[in-house]
Structure 1
């Protein structure tokens, strides 16, 4: 009787261990499934929804990824589970790159609009033919005012882009001067340029210095 009880006890323990192992495997499978499903759901979102909620999406993704990777040790088929996770990682990185490019494009367009208005989307060809003797002073004035208002929010890339636009606008001014630009407007533009140039140089240099410092601090961590 005692032996039978011992055998039954051993069987119950073994069954309990098997059940726990099965539950653990099921939990691992669920976590990996949740991770895959989340990545799939992100892929199905439209670009606008992704970009407007990207920080929350990325935070949730990292939490789901951590769960899935922690589940690898308990997965019944760890090799297959790892392949599934890696495939979803690749899918997510593709979506992330696409989203970041969309964000940059959106921000770039917003920057253009802030400097030149919605009807003058300056492209890579830097075409400023729309600037003439009648509107060039207002273009310069808006350029200087916009910079003054937003200079503390610009990245190094923004400063570089603004520099390119400013130099192209100056080149256009040389042409406009020959097309009848009034001396009054010309003098007003010269005053704006005198105000803008040193301020822009300082802000751009400071922004680059801060970004280099941050990059060094991140590399040291």
Structure 2
């Protein structure tokens, strides 16, 4: 075999090998992107509660899948379409992540709200409409006393959002008091409640102003 023929054969072999490697890397990148997409699709079908409970491990696995896809793209020349797919999947994931974090924040706020209500009113039933139907002329003074005393003891620990919840509860309790007065609330109890109410306004104005927002704390 002449040197010229050998040269042609060698060039042809190298070119074929190069194309083969190039195609293999392209397929590898394509599979990595598909795996990343499938992973995001699979976690988005999980119930929010389950996803939040396992969020740390989910995020670690997803970061690995994304990194694998992005590294594989570095090895291919024709990556425009694949990069576009990765970007779309990442956008989908970010939307899902933001949704989960919003749900987490809502649950946290609800737990905090329930904690405050329990601290102020014990285990008494307090529905979302805050009608205070269990408050009557016999126990209303005690309810106000416990309410003000608890606030005084914890005034430095409340956030602005906590104070807003407390004010809403206070106003709802006052509405109930108007109903209880019609049931025959004694003047003695009414006067004592009036003194307690005089403590709330200044306390709310002063300590809410100095309180931090939950967002700032975060």
With the length of structure 2 as denominator, give the TM-score of the two structures. 0.66
Could you tell me which of 15, 19, 24 is aligned with 1:14? 19
Q: 1 CA distance for matches of 2:97 and 2:214? A: 29
Whether 1:44 aligns to 2:42 is no
Say whether the 8 Å CA contact 1:34–1:64 is kept in structure 2: yes
Q: 1 CA distance for matches of 2:139 and 2:12? A: 97
Whether 1:158 aligns to 2:158 is no
Structural RMSD (CA): 4.2
Farther-moved stretch of structure 1 (25-34 vs 82-91): 82-91
Deviations 1:131-166 (A, max 9, x none): 223212321222123324444454433322211221
Change (3 A) 1:80 1:212: closer
Following superposition, the deviation at residue 50 of structure 1 comes to: 5.3
Q: 1 CA distance for matches of 2:151 and 2:57? A: 33
Could you tell me which of 134, 143, 146 is aligned with 2:138? 134
Whether 1:144 aligns to 2:142 is no
In our comparison, the structure showing a higher alpha carbon Rg is 2
Higher helix share: 1
Say whether the 8 Å CA contact 1:113–1:120 is kept in structure 2: no
Deviations 1:101-146 (A, max 9, x none): 455444433433332233321432x423422232123212221233
Change (3 A) 1:104 1:214: closer
Change (3 A) 1:122 1:145: farther
Could you tell me which of 199, 202, 209 is aligned with 1:205? 209
Change (3 A) 1:62 1:182: farther
Alignment of 1:42-191 (within 5 A): 43-44=46-47, 47=49, 49=50, 53=53, 57=55, 60-61=58-59, 64=62, 68=66, 71=69, 74=73, 78=82, 100-124=105-129, 126-173=130-177, 176=180, 179-181=184-186, 183=188, 185=189, 188-191=192-195
Change (3 A) 1:182 1:35: same
Unaligned stretches of 5+ residues in structure 2: 74-78
Equivalent residue number for residue 76 of structure 2 = none
Deviations 1:48-75 (A, max 9, x none): x556x3xx62794497379549947947
With the length of structure 1 as denominator, give the TM-score of the two structures. 0.65
Say whether the 8 Å CA contact 1:39–1:61 is kept in structure 2: no
